[in-house]
Amino acid sequence: MSRYEEVAVEVRDGWRVLRLAGEVDVATAPRLRDRLVQLINEGPPQVVVDLSGITFIDSMGLGALISGLKRARALDGDLRLVGATDHVAKVLAITRLDQAFMVSDTVEAALAGSPG
């Protein structure tokens, strides 16, 4: 079992890059939601979530990301996703959230505003 954990927060080009690991499910999603809202409210409301260490995400985990995205956009910022594994990318595609979020392969691409 791999529990959810926040590995690091880096500041890059005015964005906070939040690197996560483990499993985000209904039990751990509230922690992610609270953390995203906290980072966004602290400002600037620009957050990149690095999902490369995430081995599992369920619908409530997706809901936490949506919550962060809405909060960031309400403050004229953004929340972008990078490093989705094949399965996480599949889940984002099924729910069509890959069209709601900017999803990039790398942090550099996300900071440059480049999808893919």
Partner 1 sequence: MTAVGEIVELEIPPTLEYLDLARVVVSAAASVDPGFPPSRVSDLRLAVSELCANAIESQQRRERVEPLVIRCVLSDDRVTIEIEDHGGGFDPEALAPLPPATDPTRLERERGLGIPLVRALADDVEFLVKDEGTTVRVVLFHPHPD
In the complex, the residues that contact partner 1 under the rule CB under 8 A are: 1, 3, 23, 25-27, 56, 58-60, 62-63, 66-67, 69-70, 86-87, 90-91, 94-100
Min. distance of Cβ 112 from partner 1 in angstroms? 23
Which residues are paired to 19 by β-bridges?
8, 50
* Cβ-Cβ contacts under 8 Å for 1 (sequence gap 6 or more): 23
Nearer residue to partner 1 within complex by CB, 48 or 69:
69
Task: Give min distance, CB of 26 to partner 1, in A.
Answer: 5
Say if residue 28 is exposed, middle or buried (CB neighbours under 10 Å; 0-12, 13-18, 19+): buried
| CB of 46 or CB of 67, closer to partner 1 | 67
The tokens 């609270």 sit on which residue? 34
**Residue number with CB closer to partner 1 (15 or 101):** 101
Report whether 15 contacts 46 (CB < 8 A).
Answer: yes
